[in-house]
Amino acid sequence: MDQVTIPIWRPESGPLLAGRLDGRRTFARALEGLPSANKALLVILDFRNIDFASSSFLSEAVLRFRDHLRLSRTPSYLVAANLADKPLEELDYLLTRSADALIVCTLSMNGEISEPKLIGSLDQKLKETFDLVLRKGETNAVELHSESNQADQVGPTAWNNRLNLLSAKSLLIEIPQGRTKKFRPLLEVS
């Protein structure tokens, strides 16, 4: 999967990012930074040199951008990189409050990803599904259904809904295979 890095820091804005309006401006700049592509991309928002980002900024800039990427004609996936302690804490709190999650990582100057981890929170069933996909590496709803020994005995449709929700959160990659799809982790998180 091709990788695109969009820096958040701009000399005129400085290291402190706050407010919905600044978040919307950053969202618009991030859209401009996307190449026109006809295949899925891994889009990395690089927070290098950012000391603080408010929840309202992060909601407009990061979560709105992630949702936009997933609803595009060619869905792409988002991770946030190089978050200092305070922006990471704000993003984690925002995600946890809304029962949402995102992958964050460290990105080297030459574009290498390291230390990916999941922040925020997922409800129990989504977390269990995510953990199963991490263990399997690649799977689909029918495989998960046939291997599950859950007491509630959910069908393949419920598994498919869970997998689609995790993909919409940029945690899993959809791999179309004819009329079905397989899913695999976006990054191997710890």
Q: Give the tens place of pLDDT for each residue, 22-40.
A: 999 999 999 999 988 788 8
pLDDT, tens digit, for every residue of 156-175? 899 999 999 999 999 999 99
144 plus 171 within the same structural domain: yes
Tell me which of 93 and 73 has the higher pLDDT: 93
Q: Any idea which of 22-36, 69-83, 143-157, 164-178 has the lowest mean pLDDT? A: 143-157
In a domain, 34, yes or no: yes
Q: Give the domain extent around 136.
A: 124-185
Cβ-based neighbours of 93, under 8 Å, separated by 6 or more: 55
First to last CA, the chain: 21
Helices 156-168 and 124-136 sit at what angle, rounded to 10 degrees?
Answer: 90
Question: pTM for the whole thing?
Answer: 0.93
Total domain count, the chain: 2
Burial zone of 65 (CB within 10 Å; 0-12 exposed, 13-18 middle, 19+ buried):
buried
55 plus 107 within the same structural domain: yes
- What is the Cα gyration radius of the chain? 17
99 plus 57 within the same structural domain: yes
Q: Answer for the pair 119, 88: CB distance below 8 angstroms, yes or no.
A: yes
Pick the last residue of a domain from 76, 101, 120: 120
Residue closest to 62 by CA, chosen among 36, 100, 35: 100
77 plus 107 within the same structural domain: yes
CATH code, 45: 3.30.750
In a domain, 190, yes or no: no
139 plus 102 within the same structural domain: no
In a domain, 107, yes or no: yes
Q: What is the pLDDT of residue 152?
A: 58
Pick the last residue of a domain from 120, 135, 155: 120
